[in-house]
Amino acid sequence: GMDVANASMYDGSTALAEAALLAIRLKERNKIVCSRAIHPEYRQVLKTYLMCFHAEIVEIDTPEGITPIEELKKLIDDKTAAVLIQNPNFFGCIEDMETISNVVHKHDTLFIACMNPISLGILKPPGEYNADIAVGEAHVLGNYLNYGGPYLGFFTVKNELLRKMPGRIAGETLDSNGKRCFVLTLQAREQHIRREKATSNICTNQALLALRACIYLCALGKKGIAELTNLNIQKSHYAYERLCTLNNLEPTFKKPFFNEFVLKAKGDLSVTKINEHLLKNGIIGGLDLSGFYPELKNDMLLCVTETKSKDSIDRLITELSKII
């Protein structure tokens, strides 16, 4: 695991952007190398955040569904402040985080990992592959969808980056009576102390949702989290294997995955046709990737989590078999 976490961020995308800002300030460099397999909307937020900092954002193409190591090596130089990788990535594919970390740290560059926390029930945690900053969206931990929000960003760092970390930090101390208490600490980082020199300028966090996530994790415990992760794996792979048996559907990326996977529609079948048919029958289909990735013209991203029953997956297969 990582050493320190703040009291939460607005959402996963702003946590990633704040991590990039930390790297730019710390390294006094303006180049950010970013995998195109990071969530496209996260990358849009990143570009908006860094617009006024005259930062150079270099994106790495991912034709095989994961970040190509040799291409990454070519792009990192002495102007690079940080490398940003999501794991599992937007396509659900598992990245080789340990190898990427070794490549990044050869250049005195920060390695920023973005992740789905539930995947850590089976995948190696970021502290074990020496990530400098680990961020992501923790909405999946006991919170629910509500018309697009609110969400819950988490932000964790190594100890040496503690004083550079944005957001509020809760610390433990003793009060005047010698009793244990909790306080907001290291506030000299924040804008209400010295705005022009602040390393933290965020005004919003999601403490209520963070509390829900904390209760959820405590209720599950270590064993429960591992079981939850395995449920995600079993159900998503069951759906994937059933879907791949249908005519005119094939996997776009043949890589290990978690939760999400990408399928390509072949022949005269289109993602639009699939989704229109499913919607008429009360099923929300896969995300048409062509809007985010023009090269993926007839590919859709599907997600299956612990919330989906075997019956609902079988119903999806039944409905698809009617038009394929």
CATH code of 261's domain: 3.90.1150.10
Write the pLDDT tens digit of every residue in 147-184: 877 899 999 999 999 999 998 888 999 999 999 999 98
Q: Is residue 218 part of a domain?
A: no
Domains contained in the chain, number: 2
Specify whether 197 is located in the same domain as 146: yes
Domain assignment present for 324:
no
Shared domain for 196 and 276, answered yes or no, is: no
Same domain, 51 and 153: yes
- Average per-residue pLDDT for the chain: 94
Determine the pLDDT at residue 134: 99
Contact 293, 215 (CB under 8 A): no
pTM: 0.94
Does 260 lie in the same domain as 196? no
- What was the pLDDT predicted at 203? 65
C-alpha triplet 68, 73, 78: angle, nearest 5°: 145
* Residue 94 lies inside a defined structural domain of this protein: yes
Same domain, residue pair 194 and 249: no
Q: What is the pLDDT of residues 101-122, one digit of tens each?
A: 999 999 999 999 999 999 999 9
What percent of the chain is predicted at pLDDT more than 70?
98
Domain check: are 15 and 140 in the same one? yes
The token duo for 321 is: 């078999």
Do 208 and 75 share a structural domain? yes
Q: Do 72 and 100 belong together in one domain?
A: yes
Residue 237 lies in domain: 223-319
Question: What DSSP string describes 81-128?
Answer: EEEEEESS-TTSBPP-HHHHHHHHHTTT-EEEEEE-GGGGGTSPPGGG
Chain position carrying tokens 């390393």: 199
- Looking at the fold, whether 261 and 292 belong to one and the same domain comes out as yes
Does residue 217 sit within a domain? no
Query: What is residue 228's three-state secondary structure?
Result: helix
Asked if residue 36 belongs to a domain, the reply is: yes
Q: What CATH number has the domain bearing residue 100? A: 3.40.640.10
Shared domain check, 251 and 120: no
Look-up: residue for tokens 């989906």? 308
Same domain, 195 and 267: no
Last residue of a domain, one of 212, 234, 263: 212
181 and 243 belong to one structural domain:
no
For residue 86, list its beta bridge partners. 114
The pLDDT tens digits of the residues spanning 206-244 come to: 889 999 999 999 999 999 999 999 999 999 999 999 999
pLDDT by residue (tens digit) across 16-32?
999 999 999 999 999 99
